[in-house]
């Protein structure tokens, strides 16, 4: 088992909603952790007759296209890949592709990706017709999870102890989910993943959006959640890191691994919060169990 802070590192079918969904549930103390995992989203609607009227049987492709004001979706979207972290107080932290994509800009690219003009000028314009539509074709999202229930947030000066995460401790549960990925027409990559690991003393989550526009820009938006089971709060840290490629002066292979390149990127923006819930909740159990569904 790896001990680093960044815990390292499906396809189209006739009816995505009928494909089997893998799921696993893990219980520890006051928490239930569950993931669901299945195949890629269809590239088009397969049930137009049902989706054209206002029924409850709308396919996932139509749900995504109706709720997202984007000219097109990433090449690979995993609508059934969802991570749930639930507390006995009723608080739930969820990670899913739809909420992540809701935060992609449907307008013109902001100044932070203005250097993509250099990239576009160096490419054949006939191949860029889809990219230069007025939306963020990098699918950049600052999604930091979906909160529900009686949770409150406040700024904090406390930071996640990265050195503690590097200590050797038994990993009771680990999983990684891809939420979406796009290869930017073979000119880079944009991906959004979530990883969780649970130890006897705590749990740690890394939600990461990674962007590489070849020869132009590298961006990493990370959200980390850490909870020490001896405390009554969760720390959440969001950071936006990015840099033009020419300023990095790093070996080419490093640009393909966000774990390697992350420490070389300057922090552009950071948000540090403490998530809290009512203290009178009842503990599920003092035992740790794993349930395979």
User: Whole domain around residue 125: which residue ranges?
Assistant: 22-48+58-292
Question: Which pLDDT tens digit goes with each residue over 54-63?
Answer: 656 788 888 8
At 61 the pLDDT is 85
Q: Please check whether residue 125 lies inside any domain of the structure.
A: yes
Task: Find tokens 């520890």 and name the residue.
Answer: 28
Residue with the larger pLDDT of the pair 129 and 106: 106
Q: Please check whether residue 13 lies inside any domain of the structure.
A: no
At 118 the pLDDT is 53
Residue 111 confidence (pLDDT) above 60: no
Q: Please check whether residue 53 lies inside any domain of the structure.
A: no
> Could you give the number of structural domains in the chain?
1
Q: Please check whether residue 113 lies inside any domain of the structure.
A: yes
Q: Please check whether residue 12 lies inside any domain of the structure.
A: no
At 72 the pLDDT is 85
At 224 the pLDDT is 98
CB 155 within 8 A of CB 276: no
Could you tell me the pTM of the whole model?
0.82
Q: Please check whether residue 197 lies inside any domain of the structure.
A: yes
Taking the C-alpha atoms of residue 8 and residue 217, their distance in angstroms, rounded to an integer, is 23
Question: Which pLDDT tens digit goes with each residue over 69-97?
Answer: 888 899 999 999 999 999 999 999 999 99
Question: Which pLDDT tens digit goes with each residue over 117-172?
Answer: 554 554 455 544 444 456 788 999 999 999 999 999 999 999 999 999 999 899 99
Q: Please check whether residue 8 lies inside any domain of the structure.
A: no
Q: Quote the mean pLDDT of the chain.
A: 83
Tokens, residue 263 = 């420490």
Q: Please check whether residue 132 lies inside any domain of the structure.
A: yes
Residue with the larger pLDDT of the pair 119 and 232: 232
Taking the C-alpha atoms of residue 13 and residue 4, their distance in angstroms, rounded to an integer, is 37
How many H-runs (helices) and E-runs (strands) does the chain carry?
6, 14
Residue 58 burial by Cβ neighbours in a 10 Å radius (0-12, 13-18, 19+) = middle
């Amino acid at each position: 088992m790896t001990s680093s802070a960044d815990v390292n590192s499906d396809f189209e079918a006739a009816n995505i909603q009928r494909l089997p969904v893998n799921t696993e549930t893990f219980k520890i103390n006051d928490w239930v952790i569950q993931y669901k995992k299945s195949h890629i989203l269809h590239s088009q609607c397969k049930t137009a007759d049902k989706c054209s009227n206002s029924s409850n049987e709308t396919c996932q492709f139509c749900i995504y296209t109706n709720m997202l004001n984007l000219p097109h979706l990433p090449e690979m979207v995993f609508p059934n890949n969802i991570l749930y972290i639930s507390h006995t107080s009723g608080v739930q932290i969820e990670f899913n592709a739809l909420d992540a994509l809701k935060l992609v800009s449907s307008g013109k690219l902001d100044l932070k990706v203005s250097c993509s003009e250099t990239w576009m000028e160096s490419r054949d314009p006939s191949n860029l017709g889809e990219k230069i539509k007025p939306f963020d074709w990098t699918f950049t999202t600052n999604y930091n999870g979906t909160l529900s229930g009686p949770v409150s947030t406040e700024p904090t000066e406390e930071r996640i102890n990265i050195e503690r995460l590097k200590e050797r401790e038994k990993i009771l549960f680990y999983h990684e989910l891809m939420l979406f990925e796009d290869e930017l027409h073979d000119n880079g990559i944009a991906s959004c993943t979530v990883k969780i690991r649970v130890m006897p003393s705590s749990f740690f989550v890394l939600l990461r959006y990674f962007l590489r526009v070849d020869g132009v820009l590298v961006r990493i938006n990370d959200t980390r959640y850490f909870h020490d089971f001896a405390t009554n709060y969760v720390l959440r840290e969001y950071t936006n890191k990015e840099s033009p490629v020419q300023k990095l002066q790093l070996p080419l292979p490093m640009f393909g691994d966000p774990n390697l390149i992350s420490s070389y990127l300057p922090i552009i923006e950071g948000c540090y919060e403490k998530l809290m819930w009512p203290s009178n909740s009842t503990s599920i159990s003092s035992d740790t169990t794993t349930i395979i569904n």
